[in-house]
A and B are shown apart, each in its own frame.
Chain A
Amino acid sequence: MGKKHETPLLDELKKGKWISFVREMERAAEKSERTEDLLGQVEESYRDKITHWKHGGMAGVRGYGAGMVGRFSEFPEKYPGVKECHSIRLNQTSGFFYNSDVLRKLADIADQHAGGLFNFHGSTGDIQILGLTQADAEDLFQKSAELGFDLGGSGSDLRTPSCCVGPARCEFANYDTLQICYDLTHAFQDELHRPSFNYKFKMKFSGCANDCVAAASRSDLAFIGTWQDNIKINQGEVKNYVKKFNVQKYVLDKCPTKCMWFEGENLVIDDSNCVKCMHCINEMPKALKSGDQKGLSILIGAKAPLVTGPRMGMMLIPFYDVHEDSKNDYEWLKGLISNMWEFWDEYGVSRERIGELIARVGLVTFLEGIGLEPTIDMVREPRSNPFIKFEDEEAGAE
C-alpha cells in the first residue's frame, strides 16, 4: 500500500449531507494506491491554498494527437503516486446512456491502469479516467477501444460532440439529437483524434430551445431543435390546465411576443409571431406540442472569455432540415462545416476561436467565405452607424 497521509482539512469535507468527493477519493485509494498520494497532494493544496501541479505536460497514445491531458506533480518525491497523474478522455455515448456491464468493465480498467477515479463526465461530455502514467496509456486505450470506447478530443481539434437526452426520453425533441451526434462524431474521427485546427472546435446538439446541453453557450457550432409550422393545441387539456393554475398570468402574459390569447374558452396562437421559445409548451406539456415540420437552428461562435471576451452562439441558419439531409448522409451540413473549417484555416490565426474570427473579419465576410447569404434572422436589429463599405460595382465606376 502507498503511504497514508494525514488529511485533516479534507476530512472536514467528508461531513455534511451532499455526497463527498473525499469519500470517493478514499474509496479509489483502496483499489489504486497511487490515489493515496493524490489525497496527500490535494491536502497540501488545501493547506497552501495553491495548486501543486506542474505546468502542462505532454502525454498521449501513438497515432493520436489528442485524448490525454498530461499532468505532473510539483513534489514527485513526496507523492510518487502522482509524479505522473494524467487523465484520459473516453468518448461518451450519445445521451450518456450505459448499462451495468460496461460500467463495471470501465471500473476495472480504471482500477488496473489508473487511479480508480473518474469524472462522470467532463464538461464537454467525455468520460475522464484520472491518474494514469504514460506507461498505462496504450493498455488503457486498447482495452477501452475493445469495449467500443475510443478516445475523445483535446487540444486544437474537434472536441467530443455531445447531445441532450433527445427523443430517447423527451417529448420536446424536434430531431434525433443522439443519432446526429453519433453520426457526426464518426464522420469526423480524424479531425477529433489528430489536431489540425487553429484552436478547439466544439459541437453540441439540443433537441429544443430549452437547450439542456447548453449548446448555445458552450459550443462553437450549436444545433437547437425547432419547428416551422403551428404549435399543436389540445383544447381539452388546455381547459384542464386552466382549472389547475392561472394560465393567463403564467403562460399567456409571459409569452415574449404576446402571440397567444383566449377566444372564448379556446386558446389561440398566432404562430407567425411565435419565436419557438418553449415557454408555453414547458408549462402545459400535455396540451401543447411543437409542430410537424421539425428541424433545427444552427448557431455559431459561442466561447468563454479568453481572449477577446465571452460570446454566445449567434444565429447562422434559422432552419436546417436535418431529416431530409440525414437521408443523404448530411451532405449539405458536412459541406457547410467543411467550408467553415477551410475559411478558419485560411484566415484564422493561432488560438483564435471561430467566433473571434467572425468578430474580427465581420459576419458578412465570413458568410461570403462559406457561401451563405445574410438573412434578417442573423441580427437583433440592423446597424445604427452609417460607416458602410459600399462595393465599387454598386456605386458605379468613375
Chain B
Amino acid sequence: MPEEVKKKRITDVGPHDYHDYLSPMIKKNYGKWAYHEILDPGTMVHVAENGDKLYTVRMGSPRLVSSGFVRDISDMADKYCGGYLRFTTRNNVEFLLENEKNIEPLKKDLEKLGYNVGGIGNVVANIVHTQGWVHCHTSASDASGVVKSVMDELYEYFVEDKLPSKVRIAFACCLNMCGSVASSDIAILGTHRKPPKINHERLVNLCEVPSTIAACPTNSIRPEMVGDKKSVRVNEETCVFCGSCYTVCPAMPIADAENDGLSIWVGGKVSNARTKPTFSKLVVPFIPNEPPRWDKAVQAVKTILEAYKKGAEPGERVIEWIERIGWSRFFKITGFEFTKYHVDDFRLAETSMNYSSHARF
C-alpha cells in the first residue's frame, strides 16, 4: 500500500488556475474596464470600454465560517451569478452579477438567510482579524468575539455611507500582529502585562536556549543554571511582555487571565493616496478582557469613530484628520488619558518626539 500511495500522490501542483473561475464577462473585459461607480454601500458597477456592465454585491462575513455558509453562498451564486463569486482582501464575499435586475432579489435572499450587505465606500468595512482563543496558543484575547461585538455596535457604519472617508478596523490577538493591525485607521491588539512564568524543570528539554534569548526585543533573557538544570532568567525590569520568548520556548507561558487584555491604536494606513503609508499609533494602553462582549473596548472604538466622523473633513482618513488637528486635540476631544506609556521608549524612539515649538493650547 505505501508504495502505491507514493506513486499516485499529487504534489507541487500549486494553486488552481484562476482563469477557470472567471465569469465569461470578466474574461471578455479582463484589463479593459473603463470606470466604476458606487451605487450604494452594498453595490457597485464596473463599466467596460465596450459598455458591458458588471455589478458587484458585497456581503459581510465572520471569516470563520461553516461548510453551510459555503453552500449558502454557492446557492446564491448559482441562482444569480452563473455560479461565480469571489472573496475580498478583507474577507467579504462578492457576488458578480451581469443583470442589474438580480441585485434586489439577491439582497433580499441574503437578508433572509441572515447575511449583511454593505462594506463599500465611506464605511467601516469588515474587520481583518486572527485566530484568538478558537485556534491559537499565544493569543492574549479572542478575535472572533471582539470582532462580532464591535461590528454589532458599528453595524450602521457597514450598511450606510456615513463617514468622511473609509475606516479600516483591524484586530490581532497578540503583537505578532498577524494581519493589518500595524497599519489600520483603528486597531485593536491583544496585550499582556506580566512577564512569562518559567518552567525551569522542563525548559532545557523543551527549548533551545540561544534562540529563546535571541527572540527577545529588549535583551531581557539570560542563560542561568537553576539547581542542576540549564534554564533562563528574565530581567523583569526590562521585559515588555511581548510573548516572543513563549513563541519559541513552550516552557515560558505568558498568558494571564487577569492581566491580559486589549490596547487600542489609531491612524495607520497602507494606501499611498495623498499621504504616505503609516503605522497605527497607541491611544489606549490597556483595557481588560471582558468576554463575551468586551464593552469597554467596543466603546473606545466607537468614541474614536464618532469623534472622527464629527471632526474630519470629507475625504480625510483618520490619520489625516489627527495630523491636521494635532494629537493633543485628538486626546482632548476623545477624552482618552495621555500617559507615560504613550511616549515611545523602544529603539529610535526619539524620532517620534516634537523637535519644534509647535504646540496647541
Interface-forming stretch among B146-154, B223-231, B330-338?
B146-154
How many residues belonging to A are interface residues under a CB distance threshold of 8 Å? 127
Interface string of B132-161 (1 = CB under 8 A from A): 111111110010110111011001001000
Q: Does B114 contact A (CB under 8 A)?
A: yes
Judging by beta carbons under 8 Å apart, are A210 and B273 in contact?
Answer: yes
> Contacts A185-B14, A210-B273, A350-B214; is A123 near B130 (CB within 8 Å)?
yes
Distance between Cα atoms of A21 and B143 in the complex (Å): 11
Nearest chain-B residue to A146 (Cβ)?
Answer: B10
- The answer on a CB contact under 8 Å between A9 and B347 is no
Known: A102-B16, A102-B21, A350-B214. A119 touches B145 (CB 8 A): no
Contact digits for B16-42, partner A, Cβ 8 Å, 1 yes 0 no: 111011100010001101111000000
**Is B289 interfacial (CB 8 A cutoff)?**
yes
B75, B93, B145 interface centre (most CB from chain A within 10 Å): B145
Closest 7 A/B residue pairs (Cβ): A16-B152, A100-B74, A55-B250, A167-B31, A18-B151, A148-B16, A209-B272
Please, which residue of chain A has its CB at the minimum distance from the CB of B54? A169
A146 to B86, CA, bound (A): 21
User: Looking at A63, A165, A276, which has the most chain B CB atoms within 10 Å of its CB?
Assistant: A165
Q: Which residue of A lies closest to B182 (CB)?
A: A310
Q: Once bound together, how far apart are the Cα atoms of A164 and B126, in whole Å?
A: 16
B15, B73, B116, B314 — most chain A CB neighbours (10 Å): B15
Complex CA gap A350/B212 in Å reads 11
Among A149, A176, A193, contact of B15 (Cβ-Cβ < 8 Å):
A149
Stretch from B77-85, B98-106, B300-308, B353-361 forming part of the interface with A? B77-85
* A180-202 interface bits toward B, Cβ cutoff 8 Å, 1 = contact, 0 = none: 00100110011001000000000
The answer to whether A309 touches B346 (Cβ under 8 A) is yes
Q: Do most interface residues of chain B lie in helix, strand or loop, or is the interface mixed?
A: loop
Can you offer 26 A-B residue contacts whose CB atoms are under 8 A?
A: A49-B257, A51-B255, A53-B133, A102-B16, A107-B74, A117-B66, A118-B67, A120-B93, A160-B15, A169-B26, A169-B56, A169-B96, A171-B34, A189-B12, A212-B89, A214-B89, A214-B270, A217-B183, A217-B277, A285-B36, A305-B182, A305-B242, A307-B215, A308-B347, A312-B183, A351-B214
Please provide the chain A residues from 311 to 338 with a CB less than 8 Å away from any CB of chain B in the complex: 312
Which among A9, A85, A98, A171 is the interface contact of B36 at CB below 8 angstroms?
A171
**In the assembled complex, A3 has its CB within 8 A of some CB on chain B:** no
Residue in contact with B66 in the complex, picked from A98, A116, A210, CB distance below 8 Å = A116
Decide if B253 is an interface residue (CB 8 Å cutoff). Answer: yes
A119 to B96, CA, bound (A): 21
Chain B nearest Cβ from A85, distance in angstroms: 7
Q: Is the CB of B137 within 8 A of A71?
A: yes
User: Is B341 an interface residue when CB atoms closer than 8 A count as contact?
Assistant: no
In chain B, positions 319-361 with a C-beta closer than 8 Å to chain A are 346-348
Contact of A98 with B86 at beta-carbon distance under 8 Å, contacts A51-B137, A116-B67 already known: yes
Do B291 and A9 touch across chains, with their CB atoms under 8 A apart? yes
Evaluate whether A53 and B12 lie within 8 angstroms (CB atoms) in the complex, with A178-B18, A182-B18, A305-B182 already known: no
Contacts from B to A (Cβ < 8 Å): 5, 9-18, 20-22, 26, 30-31, 33-36, 46, 54, 56, 60-71, 73-75, 77-78, 83-89, 91, 93, 96, 114-116, 128, 130, 132-139, 142, 144-145, 147-149, 151-152, 155, 158, 175-180, 182-183, 211, 214-217, 242, 244, 246-248, 250, 253, 255-258, 260, 268, 270-275, 277-279, 289, 291-293, 314-315, 346-348
In the bound complex, what is the Cα–Cα distance between A138 and B5 (angstroms)? 10
* Residue numbers in A under 8 Å from B152 (CB-CB): 15-18
Measured CB to CB, the closest approach of chain A to B77, in angstroms, equals 5
Contact indicator A107/B21 (Cβ below 8 Å)? no
- Asked if A367 is at the interface of the complex by the 8 Å CB criterion, the answer is no
- Which chain A residue shows the least CB distance to B206? A55
What are the residues of chain B within 8 A of A224 when measuring CB–CB?
272
Q: Which residues of B contact A16 (CB under 8 A)?
A: 148-149, 151-152, 155
Min CB distance B81 to A, Å, is: 9
Please report the C-alpha to C-alpha distance between residue A15 and residue B153 in the assembled complex, in whole angstroms.
11
Closest Cβ of chain B to A289, distance in Å, is 9
Within 8 A of B (CB), among A110-153: 110-111, 116-121, 123, 130, 138, 142, 145-150
* A250 near B314: Cβ-Cβ < 8 Å: yes
Task: Tell me whether A267 is interfacial, beta carbon within 8 Å.
Answer: no
Instruction: Judge if A104 is at the interface, Cβ distance under 8 Å.
Output: yes
